[in-house]
Amino acid sequence: MRKLPRVLVVEDEPAIAELIAVNLRHNGFAPTVAFDGESAQREVDSVLPDVILLDWMLPGESGVALAKRWRLQERIKTVPIILLTARTEESDKVQGLDAGADDYVTKPFSTQELLARIRAVLRRRAPEIVNDAVQLGDLTLDASTYRVMLSGSELKIGPTEFKLLHYLMKHPERVHTRGFLLDRIWGDHVFIEERTVDVHVKRLRESLGVAGIMIETVRGAGYRITANPIKVKPKPDIAEA
C-alpha cells in the first residue's frame, strides 16, 4: 500500500482546520490537526510530518515564532513549512519567509492552490534521481549523498537552498533572473512572488558562510554563482590616508 504524505495542520479555528483536513484526505494526504503551538510540538515529537501547514495567528506562541524555533531543531529543521495567514503586505511575507517558512499562502485561498503548494514543496524535498557531484572552487555538492562541502567541511543546507545551489553550480557564471529561478526551482505552475527568491538566496548565502560571496547579485538582472567573486576592497581609514 502506498504511504500517504503526512500533513500537520496547525490552525486554531476548528472549522477552517476541519475543512483543510477533509480536502487533504480526499486528495491523498494523511492530515493531523493541532490547534496551538504546544499541541503541534507534541504531534511533531510523536510522528514527523512530511509538510506543515502553519497558521500565523495562534493562541500563545505565534506561527512565525514556532517556525523560527522549529528551524533550530535538528529533527524538524528540514520539514517544509507553508505559512497560512490573512496578512497580505509584502513585509509580512518577507517576515514569514525569513522565519523559516518555505512558502506563504494568504487567506482566503482555494483548495486547488493549497494542494498545488503542498505538492510543490514535497517535490522540492524529495531527493532528485541524480548522482552527479559538482565542484566550483572549494565548494563541492554531491547530489547522491545530499552533502555540501567547503574545503572539506560539511555545510548544513536546507532543502530549497540545496536545490537552488545545485542548479546554480551546474550553470556557473550565468546570470539567472528571479523569474527563471522560480520556474526552475519551484515550478512554473506555482504562484510565488519573485521576492521569495531573494529570501532563499539570503538564506543560502548565510548557510555557505565565507563562500556566500560566490553568489553575486547582478543589479537589474538576477543572480549568478562564480568561483572568482569580486572582493570589494575596504576604504582606508582617514588616519591611514
> Are the beta carbons of 7 and 13 closer than 8 angstroms?
no
Question: Any idea which architecture 6-124 has in CATH?
Answer: 3-Layer(aba) Sandwich (3.40)
Amino acid at 160: T
Burial label for 19, CB within 10 Å (0-12, 13-18, 19+), is middle
8 A C-beta contact, residue 197 and residue 173: no
pLDDT digits (tens, 9 = 90+) for 18-42: 999 999 999 999 999 999 999 999 9
Model pLDDT, residue 234: 46
Tell me which H or E stretch contains 81.
strand 81-85
Residue 192's pLDDT is: 62
The full set of domain ranges for the chain reads 6-124, 133-225
Please report which confidence band the pLDDT of residue 1 belongs to, taking 50, 70 and 90 as the band edges: very low
136, three cell numbers:
566550483
Q: Pick the residue with more confidence: 97 or 161? A: 161
Residues 152-173 pLDDT 10s: 899 999 888 998 999 999 999 9
The fold of 133-225 is Arc Repressor Mutant, subunit A (1.10.10)
B/e letters for 115-126, b = 16+ CB within 10 Å, e = fewer, are: bebbbbbeebbe
Distance CA 215, CA 202 (A): 10
Query: What b/e string do you get for 48-67 counting C-beta neighbours within 10 Å, with b at 16 or more?
Result: ebbbbbbbbebeeebbbebb
Q: What is the pLDDT of residues 167-195, one digit of tens each?
A: 999 999 999 998 888 877 776 445 567 77
State pLDDT tens for residues 42-94: 999 888 899 999 999 898 889 999 999 998 887 888 889 999 988 877 787 78
